């Protein structure tokens, strides 16, 4: 009998509910297990998703689950949070809440025998990915975050708008923190194999670096201001990553990946391009950055490292 692809989603707010829906619509999962601390919300989201399942182009089932019942999932996507805390427009503000919650439920999930891949969305994304990795004890790379995956999409959109070229013809990445400490490695951007430097005589390929970086970093807040959340972009980002894992695609995409010496960094999660396959992040792609870009990336990592320290004091206090 063919094996069922089972994906768990923890936290069914704006993000988690859209992730669960997208997993069904795209046919990425056969069974989506739903888990939320808010029982009423859980029951309602389950009903609504089941009502949609009949019309989805692929067969999919939705089931409610406790943390322990997520044990047989191939992938668990973490999307818990409290989005109202983000009125400050700083993702770190959510940290006191999310770190304490994650520290509480990861041991419960592991008690259920979970041995799959964890994809973290919850903010601060790099910090929470690091925490899940430490608390779960899963092998390196089996826990990773969406990181700068969504920010990369915002960057590529901005470049696409200016050049008129399709998103998929552009190779570009946002790197660093999924937060304010991000950078654009301009030197590695390519269009069908042509580097930016080779195209500088064409005005469409001359970019205002500061303006594009600002537009990319602030993109999430443009969405947040009008609707109090962001959901479609992140739902597709996470679903895409889940598909790469389930189909063992070995696809290169920006994620929050554990760094073990790459880019001169060790022991933190940061947004970098990485090969994603059945073992999660299987390899960090080390780009040849210029000296200025290397320094910029280091500054981003310093910001993440400081937040990891803050997070550790929160969950150690909760122990």
Binding site feature residues for NAD(+): 11-16, 36, 121-123
Q: How far is the CB of 192 from ligand NAD (least distance, A)?
A: 28
Regarding 121 and contact with ligand NAD (CB under 6 A), the answer is yes
- Quote the CA–CA distance of 200 and 163 in Å, as a whole number: 12
Binding mask 162-201 for ligand NAD (x = CB under 6 A): ----------------x-----------------------
Contacts of 132 by beta carbon, 8 Å cutoff, 6+ apart = 78, 102, 106, 118, 120, 143
Q: Which residue is nearest to ligand NAD (CB)?
A: 13
Regarding 8 and contact with ligand NAD (CB under 6 A), the answer is no
Q: How far is the CB of 147 from ligand NAD (least distance, A)?
A: 7
Q: Which of 18, 46, 142, 178 does the annotation list as catalytic?
A: 178
Residue 178 annotated as catalytic:
yes
Regarding 298 and contact with ligand NAD (CB under 6 A), the answer is no
Q: How far is the CB of 279 from ligand NAD (least distance, A)?
A: 21
Subset of residues 81 to 100 that bind ligand NAD, contact rule: CB under 6 A: 81-83, 86, 91, 94, 98
- Quote the CA–CA distance of 133 and 106 in Å, as a whole number: 10
Regarding 154 and contact with ligand NAD (CB under 6 A), the answer is no
- For ligand NAD, which is the closer residue by CB, 122 or 136? 122
Contacting ligand NAD (CB under 6 A), which of 5, 6, 9, 14? 14
Annotated binding site: 11-16, 36, 121-123
147 Ramachandran zone, left/alpha/beta (phi>0; psi -120 to 50): left
- Quote the CA–CA distance of 159 and 261 in Å, as a whole number: 31
Q: Which stretch binds ligand NAD (CB under 6 A): 36-44, 106-114, 164-172, 278-286?
A: 36-44
- Number of residues engaging ligand NAD in binding (CB under 6 A): 33
Contacting ligand NAD (CB under 6 A), which of 7, 12, 254, 289? 12
State the greatest distance between any 2 C-alpha atoms of the chain, in Å, as a whole number: 59
Q: Which residues bind ligand NAD (CB under 6 A)?
A: 10-16, 35-38, 41, 79-83, 86, 91, 94, 98, 101, 105, 121-123, 125, 146, 150, 178, 229-230, 234
Catalytic residues: 178
């Amino acid at each position: 009998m063919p094996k069922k692809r089972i994906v768990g989603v923890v936290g069914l707010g704006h993000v988690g509910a859209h992730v669960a829906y997208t997993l069904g619509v795209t046919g990425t999962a056969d069974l989506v297990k739903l888990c939320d601390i808010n029982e009423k919300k859980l029951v309602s989201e389950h009903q609504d998703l089941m009502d949609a399942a009949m019309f989805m182009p692929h067969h999919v089932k939705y089931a409610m689950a406790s943390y322990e019942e997520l044990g047989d999932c191939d992938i668990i996507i973490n999307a818990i949070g409290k989005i109202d805390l983000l009125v400050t427009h700083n993702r770190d503000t959510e940290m006191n809440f999310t770190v304490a919650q994650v520290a509480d439920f990861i041991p419960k999930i592991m008690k259920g025998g979970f041995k799959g891949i964890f994809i973290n969305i919850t903010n601060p994304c790099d910090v929470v990915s690091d925490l899940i990795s430490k608390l779960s004890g899963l092998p390196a790379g089996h826990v990773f975050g969406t990181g700068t995956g969504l920010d990369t999409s915002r960057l590529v959109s901005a470049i696409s708008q200016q050049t008129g070229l399709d998103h998929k013809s552009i190779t570009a990445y946002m790197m660093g923190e999924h937060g304010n400490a991000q950078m654009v490695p301009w030197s590695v951007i390519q269009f069908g194999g042509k580097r930016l430097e080779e195209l500088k005589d064409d005005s469409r390929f001359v970019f205002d670096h500061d303006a594009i970086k600002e537009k990319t970093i602030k993109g999430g807040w443009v969405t947040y201001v009008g609707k109090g959340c962001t959901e479609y972009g992140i739902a597709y980002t996470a679903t895409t990553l889940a598909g790469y894992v389930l189909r063992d695609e070995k696809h290169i995409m920006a994620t929050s990946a554990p760094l073990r010496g790459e880019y001169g960094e060790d022991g933190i999660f940061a947004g970098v391009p990485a090969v994603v396959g059945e073992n999660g992040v299987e390899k960090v792609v080390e780009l040849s950055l210029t000296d200025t870009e290397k320094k910029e990336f280091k500054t981003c990592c310093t910001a993440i490292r400081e937040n990891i320290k803050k997070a550790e004091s929160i969950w150690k206090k909760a122990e």
